């Protein structure tokens, strides 16, 4: 069981409301505050206490979870004089999206106000909050994380603490979403082309499992090659990938459709070719991605 059974939650949008409900289900004594007061009604009906302002919420608990639209809103709330003056001895867990610099600056502010700061990134939609397999990334004050990790596990059972630098969790969070949404966008591009052949998005999704399996094999191979600098192109060279992708692009052109992900992929392949990696494995594209524009 968590050592701390009292939580304050600031921000009750789609995600904050799901977080609140997870704490309520977990039996926590929960105080909430949201700028638009009416949004507190649902969770107050479920057993939370509604605070009259952010300072009152912060005063009500040793653990404060913030889930506002972005980190700049979270920072502005924490810097309100009546909030800042009651941060001493409290732990702030900020799950709002924002930059790495913002995370470090908020951490500095909270810690210099006598509080402890943990930054975080939620790796799911609200519907998956509270599930054992759901991942939430954290980094920041190690002692505070140790103290509150059982409470935080109620939000997502796969609790990933990435170290004491509050900038680590937002960096990995942003990188993972770049990866995920690149996949989502390319899935939609594929589905749109498939539809021209009468295949529904649902049927294409079923067929796309073929490529998820290929991806599951390809990513470990690529990272192994990057680590060992084994770029031999015996499977399929950058040049072979490039020739194939021009055919993919032509298929979209023939249908008068956009294919921005394919175009981006071709651009990376051409950077790799320019660097002399044409005969080498696709893993060399990583160098093209990292090279300065
Ligand atoms: P919503 O738009 O549903 O909610 C935004 C919240 O921020 C509301 O509580 C809103 O208050 C508050 N807010 C906005 N501006 C201000 C302000 N100036 N002062 C005080 N409060 C303010 O967003 P979500 O709940 O979906 O997202 C919250 C955070 O979680 C974001 O950083 C998002 O990137 C992150 N996240 C969301 C995911 C999702 O699937 N939804 C997934 C992973 C992360 P009010 O009600 O008054 O407008």
Ligand 1: nearest atom to the Cα of 123: 43
Closest residue (by CA) to atom 12 of ligand 1?
68
32, 20 in Cβ contact below 8 A?
yes
Nearest-5° Cα angle at 62, 128 to 4: 60
Q: What is the CATH number of domain 172-290?
A: 1.10.1040.10
Q: Read off φ and ψ for residue 229, nearest 5 degrees.
A: 55, 40
Percent of the residues in the chain that have a pLDDT greater than 90, as a whole number: 97
Q: Give the pLDDT mean for 238-253.
A: 98
* End-to-end Cα spacing for the chain: 50
pLDDT over 50 (residue 1):
no
Does the Cβ of 19 fall within 6 Å of ligand 1? no
- Cα–Cα distances (Å) from 105 to 70, 75, 100, 110, 113, in that order, read 14, 9, 9, 9, 12
Average pLDDT, the chain: 97
Could you read off the pLDDT of 25-80 as tens digits, one per residue? 999 999 999 999 999 999 999 999 999 999 999 999 999 999 999 999 999 999 99
Q: Tell which one of 19, 32, 57, 68 to mutate to probe ligand 1, the residue whose CB is within 8 A of the most ligand atoms.
A: 68
96, 120 in Cβ contact below 8 A?
no
Comparing 6-164 with 172-290, is the CATH topology the same? no
Residue 257 DSSP one-character state: -
Q: Give the pLDDT mean for 134-140.
A: 98
The CATH class of 6-164 is alpha beta
241, 262 in Cβ contact below 8 A?
no
Which residue(s) pair with 64 in the sheet?
Answer: 8, 92
pLDDT over 90 (residue 3):
no
Does the Cβ of 68 fall within 6 Å of ligand 1? yes
Residue 20 Cα to ligand 1 midpoint, Å, equals: 13
Q: Give the pLDDT mean for 110-138.
A: 98
- Cα–Cα distances (Å) from 293 to 78, 84, 109, 163, 260, in that order, read 37, 42, 35, 31, 18
Could you read off the pLDDT of 56-69 as tens digits, one per residue? 999 999 999 999 99
Q: Give the pLDDT mean for 127-133.
A: 98
Residue 102 Cα to ligand 1 midpoint, Å, equals: 16
Residue 69 Cα to ligand 1 midpoint, Å, equals: 3
d(CA 85, CA 89): 11
> Starting from the edge strand earliest in sequence, which strands make up the sheet with 29-33, in order?
49-50, 29-33, 6-10, 63-66, 91-94, 116-122, 135-140, 158-161
pLDDT over 90 (residue 7):
yes
Residue 222 Cα to ligand 1 midpoint, Å, equals: 36
Beta-carbon count within 10 A of 50 CB: 17
- The confidence score (pLDDT) of residue 292 equals 82
Sort strands 135-140 and 116-122 into parallel, antiparallel or unpaired.
Answer: antiparallel
Does the Cβ of 34 fall within 6 Å of ligand 1? yes
Q: Which two tokens stand for residue 83?
A: 């909030």
Q: Read off φ and ψ for residue 35, nearest 5 degrees.
A: -55, -50
- The confidence score (pLDDT) of residue 293 equals 79
Could you read off the pLDDT of 185-220 as tens digits, one per residue? 999 999 999 999 999 999 999 999 999 999 999 999
- The confidence score (pLDDT) of residue 4 equals 66
Closest residue (by CA) to atom 46 of ligand 1?
36
Does the Cβ of 256 fall within 6 Å of ligand 1? no
Which of helix, strand or coil describes residue 112?
Answer: helix
Q: Which residue has the higher pLDDT, 254 or 2?
A: 254
Does the Cβ of 11 fall within 6 Å of ligand 1? yes
Could you read off the pLDDT of 144-190 as tens digits, one per residue? 999 999 999 999 999 999 999 999 999 999 999 999 999 999 999 99
94, 118 in Cβ contact below 8 A?
yes
pLDDT over 50 (residue 137):
yes
Ligand 1: nearest atom to the Cα of 16: 25
Does the Cβ of 67 fall within 6 Å of ligand 1? yes
- The confidence score (pLDDT) of residue 133 equals 98
Domain ranges for the chain, please list them. 6-164, 172-290
- The confidence score (pLDDT) of residue 132 equals 97
Q: Tell which one of 69, 83, 99, 119 to mutate to probe ligand 1, the residue whose CB is within 8 A of the most ligand atoms.
A: 69
């Amino acid at each position: 069981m968590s050592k701390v059974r009292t939580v304050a939650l600031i921000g009750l949008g789609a995600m904050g409301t799901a977080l609140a409900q997870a704490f309520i289900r977990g039996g926590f004594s929960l105080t909430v505050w949201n700028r638009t007061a009416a949004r507190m009604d649902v969770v107050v009906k479920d057993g939370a206490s509604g605070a009259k302002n952010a300072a009152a919420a912060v005063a009500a608990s040793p653990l404060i979870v913030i889930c506002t639209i972005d980190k700049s809103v979270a920072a502005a709330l924490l810097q309100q004089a009546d909030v800042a003056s009651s941060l001493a001895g409290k732990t702030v867990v900020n799950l709002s999206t924002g930059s790495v610099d913002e995370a470090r600056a908020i951490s500095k502010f909270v810690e210099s106000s006598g509080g402890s700061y943990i930054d975080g990134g939620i790796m799911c939609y609200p519907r998956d909050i509270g599930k054992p397999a759901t991942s939430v990334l954290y980094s920041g004050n190690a002692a505070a994380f140790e103290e509150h990790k059982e409470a935080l596990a109620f939000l997502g059972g796969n609790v990933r603490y990435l170290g004491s630098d509050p900038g680590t969790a937002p960096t990995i969070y942003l990188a993972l979403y770049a990866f995920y949404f690149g996949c989502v966008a390319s899935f939609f591009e594929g589905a749109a082309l498939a539809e021209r052949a009468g295949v529904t998005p649902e049927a294409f999704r079923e067929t796309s499992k073929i490529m998820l399996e290929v991806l599951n094999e390809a990513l470990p191979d690529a990272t192994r090659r990057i680590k060992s600098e084994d770029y031999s192109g015996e499977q399929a060279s950058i040049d072979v990938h490039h020739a194939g992708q021009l055919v993919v692009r032509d298929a979209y052109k023939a249908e008068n459709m956009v294919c921005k992900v394919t175009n981006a992929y071709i651009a990376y392949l051409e950077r790799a070719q320019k660097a002399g990696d044409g005969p080498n494995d696709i893993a060399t594209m990583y160098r093209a991605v990292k090279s300065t524009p």
